[in-house]
């Protein structure tokens, strides 16, 4: 099959992408176990209207070695912890990714299979290089939507299971009006 060039329009303010081939949304109820404060999470789901946390829109063409899309994250917190994505390793350890931020303020938390942690800022114009073998989770630390464009190989695959249990070794919280990156208590408490 031969593929033809095409222009895809991306709105940096909303993350709208057209033409799109796929779309999904994650509300708070879809993110059970992600946040440290399970009571605050349950309250926000049951009594806080189960808010939208993030949406993903993708452009994927069968037969291509690239696909891309947008992730748009709403601002918010569960307890003191900022809204974040599930986070994943790529199933293929040889495939990395690029995250190009178009709007908002956030953090990209990264961790390799050896347990080494890093974080890089996400702000309009910053382009994060995610090397092969590094799990990645984005966090909206600002008060407006965080919009970024991502590009990777469709054969990269997602391994969510590896961090579903305890999360990553770092968490991003609001502390005294500032953003703090703290050790994840689920690791330090064994
Ligand atoms: C793809 C990728 C992004 C994320 C998206 C949602 O490899 O890294 O498209 O999938 O930002 O995050 P997750 O998948 O961690 O819920
Ligand atoms: Zn990824």
Q: Nearest-CA neighbor of 56 among 76, 83, 26, 88?
A: 26
pLDDT for residue 188: 79
Per-residue pLDDT tens over the stretch 138-179: 999 999 999 999 999 999 999 999 999 999 999 999 999 999
pTM over 0.85: yes
Ligand 1 midpoint to CA 137 (Å): 8
Res 190 pLDDT > 70:
no
More confident residue, 32 or 1: 32
Ligand 1: centre distance to CA 165 (Å): 18
Mean pLDDT of the 72-101 span: 98
pLDDT per residue as tens digits for the range 117-146 = 999 999 999 999 999 999 999 999 999 999
99 Cα to the center of ligand 1, angstroms: 10
- What residues flank ligand 1, with Cβ below 6 Å? 56, 69, 71, 85-88, 97, 136, 138, 150, 152, 156, 158
DSSP letter, residue 48 = S
Structure tokens at 64: 């291509």
């Amino acid at each position: 099959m031969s593929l033809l060039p095409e222009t895809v329009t991306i709105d940096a303010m909303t993350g709208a992408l057209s033409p799109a081939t796929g779309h999904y949304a994650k509300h708070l109820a879809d993110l059970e176990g992600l946040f440290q404060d399970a009571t605050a999470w349950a309250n926000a789901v049951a009594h806080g209207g189960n808010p939208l946390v993030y949406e993903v829109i993708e452009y994927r063409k069968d037969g291509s070695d690239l696909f891309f899309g947008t992730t748009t994250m709403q601002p918010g917190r569960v307890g003191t912890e900022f809204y974040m994505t599930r986070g994943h390793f790529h199933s293929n350890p040889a495939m990395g990714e690029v995250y190009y931020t178009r709007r908002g303020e956030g953090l990209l938390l990264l961790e390799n299979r050896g347990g080494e942690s890093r974080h890089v800022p996400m702000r309009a114009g910053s382009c994060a290089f995610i090397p092969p073998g590094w799990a990645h989770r984005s966090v909206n630390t600002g008060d407006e939507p965080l919009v970024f464009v991502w590009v990777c190989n469709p054969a990269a695959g997602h391994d969510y299971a590896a961090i579903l249990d305890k999360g990553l070794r770092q968490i991003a919280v609001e502390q005294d009006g500032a953003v703090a990156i703290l050790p994840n208590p689920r690791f330090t408490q064994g």
